[in-house]
Amino acid sequence: MQTHLLVPHPANPPLAVIAVEARFGVVGPWLQLRWRVEGAGKVMLPPFTGRRRADNLWRTTCCELFMHTKGAAGYTEFNFSPSESWAAYAFRGWRESAGNHPVSHDPAITPRPGRNLLIVDVALPLADLPPLPAALSLNMVIEEAGSTLSYWAMAHGDPDKPDFHHPACFAAHLAPPETP
């Protein structure tokens, strides 16, 4: 598993969250993802909806995965809500929508809120990913009490406003799984 510390965008500091860690790895036919939030006592969690596709999940606490296949012009965005709703979008180029990205199975999203810790685990079938190898961007939008929003990424490309679509955010890499 690769582990990355996410950093908040300086234009939108968190209220009480002190650290966000994201990690990923391939386990069998699945991409396993985990976001771990320390200082989560004031994090606002959306109400439970069950596993279903939904839009605008990024407007509140939401985990995100962006993938850019090596040599491709476009990229894919996945949103995973602690409500267990999810979304997947395809882009032809920077913020140039190509509609929904097809997904064969609902991602398995398991939120584990604690008193001052939030963990969100996600399992996504490798078959639903764009072709590998790919550059990855692991991000998180966090809403805390009083509608305070902070935007966490492995790297930020625009110092003035958060933009998870920015190429600088794609700071990790996922290779195709090794075949025995």
The answer as to whether 179 is a domain residue is no
Per-residue pLDDT tens over the stretch 85-119: 999 999 998 888 888 999 998 999 999 998 899 99
pLDDT tens-digit map of 45-69: 999 998 999 999 999 999 999 999 9
Interval 11-55: pLDDT, tens: 999 999 999 999 999 999 999 999 999 999 999 999 999 899 999
Q: What is the CATH number of the domain that holds 148?
A: 2.60.40.1190
Assigned domain for 72 exists? yes
Q: Is residue 78 part of a domain?
A: yes
Domain membership of residue 77 (yes or no) is yes
Residue at 38 is within a domain: yes
Q: Is the CB of residue 14 less than 8 Å from the CB of residue 148? A: yes
Global confidence as pTM: 0.94
Per residue in 83-98, is it b (16+ CB within 10 Å) or e — as a string?
bbbbbbbbbeeeeeee
Domain-embedded: residue 64: yes
| pLDDT band with cut points at 50, 70 and 90 for residue 179 | low
Domain tally for the chain?
Answer: 1
State the residue range of the domain holding 20.
Answer: 2-174
- Whether 180 is covered by a domain: the verdict is no
More confident residue, 176 or 118: 118
* DSSP for the chain, written as a single string: -EEEEEEE-TTS--SS--EEEEEEEEETTEEEEEEEEESGGGB--PPP--SEE-S-GGGSSEEEEEEEETT-S-EEEEEE-TTSEEEEEEEEETTEEEEEPP-SS--EEEEEE-SSEEEEEEEEEGGGSPSSSEEEEEEEEEEEGGGEEEEEES--S-SSS--TTSGGG--EEEPPPPP-
Domain contains 158: yes
